[in-house]
């Protein structure tokens, strides 16, 4: 039945006596004329839609400005009305609300992932400035879902998916449980009609079978509370079809195995009455262990408060109970729309505007803060969906601060919830005083202590371990910053030596003056670009000293030559050993000072370094090849793979070993071993390597014939001498035909 104008106005006046009746009537007439003869897909007048949206919001007891916005919310999008006209006729406040809704309506939230993510960002930005924009949008979506049968099947499915993925979870996060349940149920009906029908049919049968039992439980609860002289309203509630289906799917159980299809709600006047009621119930019936939750002292993030318990009630049936005050019940049902905190409630116009200081609204502002931190849209959408759908656990810091987290969260999530800096420096945790792994799943009531170290950088692998969007976002950001810092340090090393080779001194001040010529914004950008291989050191020198570029003679390609005696042809000294032909001893020392290589400590250092497939070990003379975006790859100078870079001298980087004697480190190498095909041959090879303190990483059979097998062995050794000792040990075995280092 369609709501009528006078019914809408009377409903608003019933809870807001000072409401602007003239404003409501003016908005009604204006919108009705603007929509004119427009029709909905059902054939009904189009204006019936904004009128029903306004009626839904009136049920939620929203202020007159919000009701007027609902009446006008489609005018800019679907008629000739402009934003300026709305501002003139109804004021800037309503104009802003209608404009926000118009922008949201243009968003397509069910499309390919990148576009959906970007539109979701726009949605949250639009609703974050005034929560009433979201409330009108949710009411708009609810009425569209109530009339979805009139849409074409393809469009119907798109709207249902969008509702299930975005709007229903948003309603839940805003604490509007009844709205979430109805949106989910109506979407479920169209997305999985067979499952919906099956659940509805089984519910109907169950309702008929249990009617007497439900009445008996309700009567028993009411009687016991009356005996204790508690004013209480006991009501039954039936789980919605989608909630039933979702739980059956999640826990892989049948409908008959669900113990919470029917529950009972006890509403009392005061908070103290909640605890008196639980005392009466628990002293009358047995409580089920582990099923008591106090969300009054520890509210959920969407402001939900209640006491939950499960008892073994009449006829030995499990009965789930929720105990709350009337105020808590309103918040549980209507969320942010039900808060008693209103702005200007005693003002001249008596306007009732929902408070924007609720936990639910703070969560929304937190999401918007994540947007402004610069995460890409797809990451943001992924993280937000995780947070929308998760239930919660409540944990404490050692000082008693309460931290609410999604169920399944671990100490990594906890650390980032306390503070981003705590998460970034986390190295360990104690849970209830005991050292525990960082991947331990947290439980309600856990006291969590985070152990930190200033030297820590969060490993990128934590992204897959963290549950919360905040933690994943911060880890990804810290990882990017760390990688950028590594490339920046490498770039600085390259530039310092590049400037030295040209007789110049590297200076950040001089580099800052050349930023425009390099098309970079900051010195850090230049350093990172050089480290990534996107800028060459010669290019930077020319930008800093333009006169040098004019004075340089034309370049001639020089053939790169490798020699056992050293490194020639590039005018640079590579590795640990060098020869400068035709120079005095003093000249050699000056050359070494000027052209000393970038120090390399292996994979554990703070430079982006990797080793070639054949590996390299201390004692090898080494060279670095710079690959854009990947850093430096280290090769022994005899590696065959270096021939591929002979025509790219700009990629060759001076490097040298910088071994920390106090913290020895293993390095990768590869052996080619040929063994006779005898039982136990492979075991003997592994035994020789193990006894020599080598660490085998991988073994690959490359050629197997009747008499012998060729094997490639990836292993880790301390240095070149250690590697040679292993090779000598293998050659001493009778079953080994040959053993040598494989330089690929």
Residue whose structure tokens are 């280290």: 634
- 596, 594, 626: which is closest to 610 by C-alpha? 626
* Two structure tokens written together for 596: 């000393």
Torsion angles phi and psi, residue 465, rounded to 5: -90, -30
Alpha-carbon span 437 to 428, nearest angstrom: 7
Q: Are 65 and 93 in contact (CB under 8 A)?
A: yes
Q: Which residues contact 290 (CB under 8 A, 6 or more apart)?
A: none
Q: DSSP alpha helices (H): ranges in 563-702?
A: 585-595, 681-691
SS3 706: coil
The DSSP annotation for 450-503 comes to EEE-TT----TTHHHH--SHHHHHHHHHHHHHHHHHHHHHHHHHHHHHHHHHTT
Residue 547: active-site member: no
* Two structure tokens written together for 468: 């919360």
Q: Which residues contact 343 (CB under 8 A, 6 or more apart)?
A: 351, 353, 355
Neighbours of 500 (CB within 10 A): 15
Residue whose structure tokens are 């005034």: 130
Which of 7, 77, 93, 382 is an active site residue?
A: 77
> Which residues partner with 392 through β-bridges?
406
Q: Are 238 and 261 in contact (CB under 8 A)?
A: yes
* Two structure tokens written together for 713: 């062995």
Q: Which helix (H) or strand (E) holds 424?
A: helix 420-424
Per the rule left: phi > 0, alpha: psi between -120 and 50, beta: everything else, 330 is alpha
Classify strands 262-268 and 318-325 as parallel, antiparallel or unpaired: parallel
Cα angle at 178 between 177 and 183, to 5 degrees? 95
* Two structure tokens written together for 390: 């998760």
Alpha-carbon span 156 to 697, nearest angstrom: 55
Residue 77: active-site member: yes
Q: Are 519 and 535 in contact (CB under 8 A)?
A: no
Which of 10, 52, 64, 78 is an active site residue?
A: 78
Neighbours of 322 (CB within 10 A): 20
Q: Which residues contact 457 (CB under 8 A, 6 or more apart)?
A: 424, 478, 479, 482
In what order do the strands lie in the sheet containing 426-431?
A: 434-436, 426-431, 448-452
Q: Which helix (H) or strand (E) holds 547?
A: helix 546-551
Instruction: Tell me the catalytic residues.
Output: 77-78
């Amino acid at each position: 039945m369609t709501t009528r104008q006078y019914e809408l106005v009377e409903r608003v006046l019933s809870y807001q006596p000072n409401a602007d009746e003239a404003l409501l009537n003016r908005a009604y007439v204006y919108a009705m004329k603007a929509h004119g003869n427009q029709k909905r897909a059902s054939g009904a007048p189009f204006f019936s839609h904004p009128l029903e949206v306004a009626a839904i919001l009136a049920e939620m007891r929203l202020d007159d400005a919000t009701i007027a916005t609902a009446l006008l919310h489609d005018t800019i999008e679907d008629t000739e009305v402009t934003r300026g006209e709305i501002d003139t006729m109804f004021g800037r406040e309503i104009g802003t609300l209608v404009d926000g809704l118009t922008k949201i309506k243009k968003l397509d939230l069910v499309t390919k992932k990148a576009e959906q993510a970007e539109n979701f960002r726009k949605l949250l930005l639009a609703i974050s400035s005034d929560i009433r924009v979201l409330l009108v949008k949710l009411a708009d979506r609810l009425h569209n879902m109530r009339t979805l049968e009139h849409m074409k099947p393809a469009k119907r499915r798109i709207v249902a998916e969008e509702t299930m993925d975005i709007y229903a979870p948003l309603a839940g996060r805003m604490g509007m449980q009844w709205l979430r349940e109805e949106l989910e149920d109506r979407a479920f009906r169209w997305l999985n009609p067979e499952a919906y029908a099956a659940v509805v049919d089984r519910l109907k049968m169950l309702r008929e079978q249990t009617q007497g039992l439900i009445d008996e439980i309700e009567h028993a609860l009411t009687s016991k509370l009356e005996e204790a002289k508690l004013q209480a309203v006991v009501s039954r509630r039936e789980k919605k079809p989608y909630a039933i289906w979702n739980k059956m799917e999640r826990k892989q159980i049948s409908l008959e195995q669900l113990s919470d299809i029917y529950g009972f709600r006890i509403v009392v006047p005061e908070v103290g009455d909640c605890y008196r009621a639980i005392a009466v119930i628990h002293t009358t019936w047995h409580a089920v262990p582990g099923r008591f939750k106090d969300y009054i002292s520890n509210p959920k993030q969407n402001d939900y408060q209640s006491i939950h318990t499960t008892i073994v009630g009449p006829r030995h049936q499990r009965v789930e109970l929720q105990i709350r005050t009337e105020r808590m019940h309103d918040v549980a049902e209507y969320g942010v729309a039900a808060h008693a905190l209103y702005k200007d409630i005693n003002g001249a116009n008596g306007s009732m505007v929902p408070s924007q200081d609720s936990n639910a609204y703070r969560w929304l502002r937190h999401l918007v803060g994540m947007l402004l931190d610069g995460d890409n849209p797809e990451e943001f959408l992924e993280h937000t969906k995780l947070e929308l759908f998760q239930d919660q656990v409540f944990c404490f810091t050692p000082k008693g601060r309460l931290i609410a987290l999604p169920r399944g969260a671990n100490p990594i999530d906890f650390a980032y919830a306390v503070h981003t800096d705590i998460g970034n420096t986390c190295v360990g945790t104690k849970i209830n005083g005991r050292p525990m792994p960082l991947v331990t799943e947290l439980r309600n009531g856990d006291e969590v202590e985070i152990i930190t170290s200033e030297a820590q950088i969060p490993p990128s692998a934590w992204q897959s371990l963290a549950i919360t969007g905040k933690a994943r976002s911060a880890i990804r950001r810290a990882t990017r910053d760390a990688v950028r810092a590594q490339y920046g340090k490498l770039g600085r090393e390259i530039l310092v030596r590049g400037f030295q080779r040209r007789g110049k001194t590297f200076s950040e001040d001089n580099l800052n003056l050349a930023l425009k010529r390099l098309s970079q914004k900051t010195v850090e950008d230049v350093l990172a670009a050089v480290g990534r291989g996107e800028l060459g050191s010669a290019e930077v020198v020319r930008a800093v000293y333009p006169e040098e570029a004019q004075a340089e003679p034309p370049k001639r390609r020089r053939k790169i030559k490798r020699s056992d005696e050293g490194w020639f042809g590039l005018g640079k000294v590579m590795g640990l050993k060098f020869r400068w032909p035709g120079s005095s001893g003093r000249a050699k020392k000056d050359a070494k000072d000027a052209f000393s290589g970038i120090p390399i400590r292996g994979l554990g250092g703070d430079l982006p370094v990797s080793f070639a497939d054949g590996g390299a070990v201390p004692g090898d003379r080494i060279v670095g090849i710079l690959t854009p975006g990947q850093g430096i790859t280290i090769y022994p100078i005899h590696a065959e793979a270096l021939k591929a870079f002979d025509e790219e001298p700009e990629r060759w980087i001076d490097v040298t070993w910088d071994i920390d004697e106090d913290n020895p480190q293993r390095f990768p190498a590869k052996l080619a071993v040929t063994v006779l095909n005898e039982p136990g041959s492979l075991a003997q090879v592994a035994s020789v390597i193990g006894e020599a303190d080598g660490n085998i990483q991988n073994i690959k059979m490359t050629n197997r014939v009747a008499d012998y097998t060729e094997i490639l062995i990836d292993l880790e050794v301390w240095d070149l001498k250690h590697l040679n000792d292993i090779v000598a040990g293998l050659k001493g075995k009778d079953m080994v035909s040959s053993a040598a280092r494989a330089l690929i």
